[in-house]
Amino acid sequence: MRPLAMLTLAVESASTVIARLKHIGVAYHVHEACPERVNVVFGSRPAVKAVRSFLVGPLCELSAEHDFMLGVLLGYDREMQCARYLTRSGAGADSPVPITSAPSLAGLADQ
């Protein structure tokens, strides 16, 4: 289950949604999308608190890292979010990723 949901709606409609969220005790954050519209982000308290810490400007201006975090918290496909992050960060989704060697786990199976 995703820890977060987001509605984008007219400012006039937001009060009804916010009242309902308050009534049922769901954490939320209201973010101005533009002068006439707001994003209401709601869900688990830690997820809302995390989003509140970085959702301060237009969504299109989020850093690649914050865009990735928001997408994963909203339940978007993780692999697609990884590709989106790589593209936005400049690493490129099609760039080869070096595989590093990990320490041997051979002796751990018997412990």
Measured CA to CA in angstroms, residue 46 lies from 1, 43, 102 at distances of 15, 9, 32
Per-residue tokens: 100: 């590093």
Enumerate the H helices of the chain as residue ranges.
11-24, 45-54, 64-73, 78-89
pLDDT recorded at residue 2 = 86
* pLDDT interval class at 1 (50, 70, 90): confident
Domain positions in the chain: 4-93
**67-107, pLDDT tens digit by residue?**
999 999 999 999 999 999 999 998 765 666 555 655 555 55
What is the CATH code for 4-93? 3.30.2190.10
